[in-house]
Amino acid sequence: MKSDYVIIGGGLAGISTLYELTIRGHEVVLLEEKDDVALETSYANGGMLTPSMADPWNSPGIAKHLIKSLNNQHSAMKLHLSALPGMAFWGLKFLRNSTKKRYYAATKASFELAKFSLNRINELIEELNIQNDHNKKGTMKVFTNNQSFSNQIKIAKMLSELGLNYSPLNNHETIKVEPLLSNTKEKIIGSIYYEDDCSGDARLFTKKLANESVKLGAKIFTKTKVEKITRHKNKITGLETANKFISTSNIIIAAGNNTPILTKRFGLNPSIKPVKGYSLTFELNGKNQLPRIPVIDDSMHAAIVPLGKRLRAVGTAELAGFDKSIPNERIDNLKYLFKRLYPDLNETVNWANVKPWAGLRPMSADSLPFIGKVKNIKGLWINSGHGHLGWTMSSGSAILISDLIEGKKPSIDPLPYRIYR
């Protein structure tokens, strides 16, 4: 088999890149080792499109929080001792990037890509009539702590210079935007409403893009694991799978957490590690009114997201290696979040029918993705490491990597996302 371009990875990054290259007229093949596309982090993630959440998780002071989390099973961001041996190098870079200067620089760069990308995602959903419970009513982050509220407003003010629209709200105004919070068990001192944020089902979005790509001539092979990327001298020649060789001069690695495994033999080890998150997807009994927008609880770093007739509780950032087990305490955390935000609705949930899920976000040490060309290897490209903004950044990253591949002037500045940084 022969193709102009081969993409490794059938998640949001890979499928978005597949679609972008295909509509530009290129012959593209995508390989995914799972039974279908969008079965990993794209499957049941937070479902939010949030340039507003551009601030990295490694904020100043994160080291103290991680140390405390070792003995706290309910910590919103938790480090497991068992994960330490394999995360030493990444962890040091993660902490090094938590200085104020680097934190704010990464926040701005993250927002630029996220905002650019969200515009494209909204266009695609409209143009392709993607039915994925898309909600364009915004998101809201609620606060029970004055200091946290003040810190987040400071970040919002900074990002407003780059185009973020936001509204600080008091308790009364918060409930006016989301009336179902009126009976919350926690005293909400205020909130920030981000009117341009959106939400929806990321997996349905990914599946639709995959189908549209195939209609345009792209080929997708599932249950296909890449055994080896081949080259002659400094030029890509193809790749080997268990039962075929595909000849190509361009390979784009969009394999999330497996990206470093594929690039290691080329002398490149991008600082990407899995950060586990959890979700519960469920419906309410009867004809109860659902929340109108996603609500993020700042104190728990978790959210309740309406998806059509469903609700999804999402949260946690857990450094636990490749472990995808779902401990009961994490399920309890998300149940507690829902109960304290929506105590009345909590009585109408049949918890026996809830669908729990855990996914591994591919997180870079500075919270920015790696997008660009592997140096000294002609035809090898990377589009990985998008962390907690994987869906939000997906289409923008696809445009950026496609511009770079075609030698065009990039639509946005590629420097913050360069591979070697």
pLDDT above 70: residue 84: no
Predicted confidence (pLDDT) at residue 415 exceeds the cutoff of 90: yes
How many CB atoms lie under 10 A from the CB of residue 84?
13
Q: Which residues pair with 6 in a beta bridge?
A: 29, 251
Helix (H, G, I), strand (E, B), or coil: what is residue 281? strand
Cα–Cα–Cα angle for 202, 203, 206, rounded to 5 degrees: 85
pLDDT exceeds 80 at position 81: no
User: In residues, how long is the chain?
Assistant: 421
- Long-range contacts of residues 285-292, Cβ cutoff 8 Å, at least 24 apart: 285/348, 285/349, 285/350, 286/348, 288/345, 288/348, 289/180, 290/180, 291/178, 291/180, 291/342, 292/137, 292/178, 292/180
Q: Which residues pair with 78 in a beta bridge?
A: 318
What are the residue ranges of helices labelled H in 4-85?
12-23, 62-69
Hey, what are 92's tokens? 């040091």
Residue 387 pLDDT:
97
Both tokens assigned to 118: 């969200």
Both tokens assigned to 251: 């390979």
pLDDT in tens, 218-234: 999 999 999 999 999 99
Gyration radius of the chain's alpha carbons? 21
Amino acid, single-letter form, for residue 416: P
* Cross-strand partners of 231: 236
Residue 210 has pLDDT above 90, yes or no: yes
Percent of the chain with pLDDT over 90: 88
pLDDT of 247 > 80? The answer is yes
Q: How confident is the model at residue 73 (pLDDT cuts 50, 70, 90)?
A: low
Q: What is the mean pLDDT of residues 117-122?
A: 98
77 forms beta bridges with: 317
Q: Is the pTM of this model over 0.75?
A: yes
Domain coordinates in residue numbering, the chain:
5-42+204-271+369-417, 50-111+127-196+272-364
Q: Is the pLDDT of residue 104 over 90?
A: yes
The CA angle 226-270-201, to the nearest 5 degrees, is: 70
> Do the domains 5-42+204-271+369-417 and 50-111+127-196+272-364 sit in the same CATH topology, yes or no?
no
* Residue 288 DSSP symbol: P
Q: 361-391 pLDDT, tens per residue?
A: 999 999 999 999 999 999 999 999 999 999 9
Nearest to 351 by CA among 332, 324, 327: 332
Tens digits of residue pLDDT in 269-313: 999 999 999 999 999 988 789 999 999 999 888 999 999 999 999
Is residue 331 packed enough to be buried (19+ CB in 10 Å), middle (13-18) or exposed (0-12)?
A: middle
Pick the CATH number of 5-42+204-271+369-417 from 1.10.10.60, 3.90.226.10, 3.40.50.10310, 3.50.50.60: 3.50.50.60
Query: Which neighbouring-strand residues pair with 314?
Result: 279, 303
CA distances from 389 to 42, 47, 50 (A): 11, 10, 7
Would you say 4 and 28 are in contact if contact means Cβ atoms under 8 Å apart? Answer: yes
- Cα-based angle 77, 88, 67 (whole degrees, multiple of 5): 35
CATH code of 50-111+127-196+272-364, in short, is 3.30.9.10
Query: What confidence tier does 316 reach under pLDDT thresholds 50, 70, 90?
Result: confident
